[in-house]
């Protein structure tokens, strides 16, 4: 018996597989098995990141509305990994001099 994930939309346990896609009979949601799995956050080198990690910015980053950019090599402590609202920026953190920022895991290295 296949161990299918619960529906990510309504949490139903009665999900069934229809070949490559999973279907929820309760809300009609169709999804891929990967969608229901817990997100793994990796830095640019493929190291897994977790909440509270320290990362190092690997390239200069322009900041909207700021006169200076975040410099390559900037250390960012105590990151928080989030579900990206825009599909890209998945690190919530505070950077000295900039305040609360959203970064991409693809531009940082584990510190």
Q: Rounded to whole angstroms, how far apart are CA atoms 94 and 96?
A: 7
Among 7, 49, 70, 107, contact with Zn ion (rule: CB under 5 A): 7
For the CB of residue 18, give the shortest distance to Zn ion in the complex, in Å: 14
Site string for Zn ion, 25-54 (x = CB under 5 A): -xx-x-------------------------
The residue among 10 and 88 lying less far from Zn ion, judged by its C-beta, is 10
| 22 belongs to the binding site for Zn ion (CB under 5 A) | no
The residue among 8 and 92 lying less far from Zn ion, judged by its C-beta, is 8
Among 5, 9, 41, 58, contact with Zn ion (rule: CB under 5 A): 9
The 3-state secondary structure of the chain, one letter per residue: CCCCCCCCCCCCCCCEEECCEEECCCCCCEECHHHHCCCCEECCCCCEECCCCCEEECCCECCCCCCCCECCCCEECCCEECCCCCCCCCEEEEECCCEEEEECHHHEEEC
* # residues near Zn ion by CB under 5 A: 8
Provide the binding-site residues for Zn ion, judged by CB under 5 A: 7, 9-10, 12, 24, 26-27, 29
């Amino acid at each position: 018996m296949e161990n299918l994930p619960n529906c990510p939309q309504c949490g139903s346990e009665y999900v069934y597989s229809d070949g490559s896609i999973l279907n929820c009979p309760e809300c009609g949601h169709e999804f891929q098995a990967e969608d229901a799995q817990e997100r793994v956050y990796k830095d640019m080198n493929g190291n897994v990141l977790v909440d509270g990690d320290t990362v190092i910015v690997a390239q200069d980053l322009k900041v909207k509305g700021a006169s200076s950019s975040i410099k390559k090599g900037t250390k960012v402590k105590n990151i928080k990994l989030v579900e990206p609202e825009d599909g890209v920026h998945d690190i919530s953190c505070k950077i000295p001099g900039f305040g609360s920022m959203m970064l991409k895991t693809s531009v940082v290295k584990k510190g």
